[in-house]
Amino acid sequence: MWLSKLSRRFVLIGAAASLTACGFTPAYGPDSAANRVLSQIAVDEIKTSDGFHLVRQLEHRLGRSAAPKFGLSVALTTREEGVAVTSDNQTTRVEIFGDATFALRQLSDNAVLLSGKTRSFTGYSTTGVTTSELASERDARERLMVILADQIATQLIARAGELPE
């Protein structure tokens, strides 16, 4: 073996100590800003099917707050584009592009504390029967909302230290 077990332990302890010394703290550590802040966010309702799935995933990632201090607003847009077309002009694959612009505000005075934008896409096949195409589209839209919500949550976690307690 290249390193003995004892040597590996010293290397790992040294790496952990150097990360702590440089100011690195785990995002979900016991006293982290993410743990303090994320549980205090209420996500605003979006009155579309896509919006419902986005909000559901955000609440899954952030949790539902009983006494929120912050509100999260999301402006969601999607568009579809046929990307695979046969020689007789039949679309066989569709991609759904989604953009989510978000703003985290303090509920006491509605001051915007953080804002950002995420973008992604998913696709589905249109070569089945109508029922399977509809199911494929619905699944692709739900997957897109999960991706966008995860990106928003990741940005909030990364920037949680900028927020007031």
> Mind listing the domains of the chain with CATH numbers?
32-162 (3.30.160.150)
Lowest mean pLDDT among 29-38, 51-60, 90-99, 137-146: 29-38
For residues 152 and 93, what is the distance between their CA atoms, to the nearest angstrom? 27
20 vs 89, which has greater pLDDT? 89
pLDDT in tens, 68-83: 999 999 999 999 998 8
For residues 150 and 3, what is the distance between their CA atoms, to the nearest angstrom? 38
* Mean pLDDT of the region 126-141: 89
Token pair, residue 128, equals 């089945």
Q: Given this model, what pLDDT does residue 37 score?
A: 78
* Mean pLDDT of the region 34-62: 91
pLDDT in tens, 6-32: 566 555 565 555 555 556 666 666 666
Provide the H-helix boundaries in 78-162.
Answer: 130-158
What count of other Cβ atoms lies within 10 Å of the Cβ of residue 81? 12
> pTM for this structure?
0.80
